[in-house]
Amino acid sequence: MNWILAVPIELRLAIAFLAGACLGAWANWAAARLAWEPRSVSPWAWDPAAASLRWVDRLPIIGWFFLRRRAAIVAGEGRGPRSRNEGQKNRDQWSRLYGDGFWIRPLLVELFAGAGAAALYWWEIDRGGLLPAGVPPQLLPGLATGMHVQWLCHIVLGWHMLAASLIDADEKLIPDEITVPGTLFGLLAAAVYPFAMLPVVWRLANDRGELGFLHLLSPRHPHAWPDWLTGFPHVGSLVMGLALWWLWCVALMDRPWCTRWGWRWATRLLVARLVRSPATRRLCRLGLAGSVFIAAFWFWGGLRWAGLLTGLVGMAGGGGLIWMVRVIGAVTLRREAMGFGDVTLMAMIGALLGWQSCLVIFFLAPLAGLVLGLLQVLLRRENEIPYGPFLCLAAVVLIVCWQPIWDWLRVPLLLLGGLAPAFVAICLVAMAVLLGLWRLVRALLS
């Protein structure tokens, strides 16, 4: 990657901006394609009015200015008696798909994505913002490969989070078509190149530092893992990895659960739906293919198995954390407090960033959600607040501010050790108590 560093930084930033703008256009396409009732448009998506679009109309950012003028021209067509019917048809199509101000949000999304990709490249590659303090500058060329892979992984994760945020803001849902491929990408990246994960310093036996990646038992060194967590021939870690993988696959299945007419009826409905649903067969095939993949890396062992097991634990830990919040909120508030799309979104984030990052995101997201949620309640009088964008925003903050966050998080993790799950359980119990008190206060005031 030294030849890339020889390219002027201005040219690299321009390329990163263009790449980010294309990903922003792709996110607009996903928001227009995957939402039930899309509130945004994309010249990349097929629709009756897009059949006659020119290639310049499909360019990111600048294409929206051409589409804006084209929409105004179409609105004035069909005035003659011969072209009246055809012009009215065109006007109806464009008014439905490209109404007034249709170009503002997608244009801002593509500008934001391009600027974000360039800024993240400058921060991670040029400034070495993710690296621990004290790394000598002469070592940076040797770390260029890992830094670029990290940046690419963060850009791909950022695209999935951007598309999920756009759809969640419109529809209050996050489709599996976004989170499932994102989770698979995170697991693949963690297995093939584990150093693509967030960087940390591994402490050796002689107290010397070695640049590594955030893994399952960080801040400990991977060589200090218990034997049963290592790869072949220890079967315990393979069973653990397969169990986490199939837990995720089963969680994605169509599995309704309604005990209104008793547990027996609810069980029969669950089994019948699982047997009849086409998603069950697709997820079973995915589960079998993933099991072969996991077994191969378990047999391979080494750091790649450590990276894959870390991604699996991060996927299950992040998704399980939001799932518990969903269950606690439903029990205490007697209503759905959080959608299942937030569960799959957090699992996607945890697959690449690790379970430790999910803890930080879990506590950071409500800070932004509280402020913006109160504004939404006051201005729009809406009680339902999409939580997915706040999880994504917290993930971006964690990536950008990783080293200060890790310096603060490392000591508590060392002190807690294996008690970290118990600490999380205590926090969830405290949250249940607070939600119960909140429900009681609302009942007294109503």
DSSP 203: E
CA 408 to chain centre: 24
| All residues at 6 or more sequence positions from 214 whose CB lies less than 8 Å from its CB, including other chains | 197, 198, 199, 200, 310, 353, 354, 356, 357, 406
162: tokens are: 């951007």
Residues of the chain falling short of pLDDT 70: 1-2, 35-53, 55, 68-101, 134-141, 203-209, 256-263, 265-266, 333-337, 369-384, 414-420, 423, 430-439, 441-446
pLDDT of residue 373: 63
Please give the Cα distance from 120 to 156 (Å, whole number). 12
Bridge partner list, 210: 202
CB-based contact 250:320 (threshold 8 Å): no
Task: End-to-end CA distance of the chain: give it in Å, rounded.
Answer: 64
Tell me the one-letter amino acid at 200. V
329: tokens are: 């909120």
Please give the Cα distance from 68 to 289 (Å, whole number). 46
SS (H, E, C) 261-303: CCHHHHHHHHHHHHHHCHHHHHHHHHHHHHHHHHHHHHHHCHH
Burial of 164 (0-12, 13-18, 19+ CB in 10 A): buried
Please give the Cα distance from 344 to 338 (Å, whole number). 12
Bridge partner list, 200: 212
CA angle centred on 189, ends 123 and 211, rounded to 5°: 55
172: tokens are: 């209050």
Burial of 371 (0-12, 13-18, 19+ CB in 10 A): exposed
In terms of DSSP H, where are the helices of 122-251?
144-171, 176-192, 235-251
In terms of DSSP H, where are the helices of 193-259?
235-251
CB-based contact 18:114 (threshold 8 Å): yes
pLDDT of residue 81: 42
pLDDT in tens, 146-179: 889 999 999 999 999 999 999 988 888 899 999 9
Please give the Cα distance from 322 to 394 (Å, whole number). 14
pLDDT of residue 332: 74
CB-based contact 98:71 (threshold 8 Å): yes
Query: Which backbone phi and psi does 205 adopt, to 5 degrees?
Result: -65, -35
CA dihedral sign of residues 228, 416, 194, 249: positive
pTM: 0.87
pLDDT of residue 273: 76
pLDDT of residue 327: 81
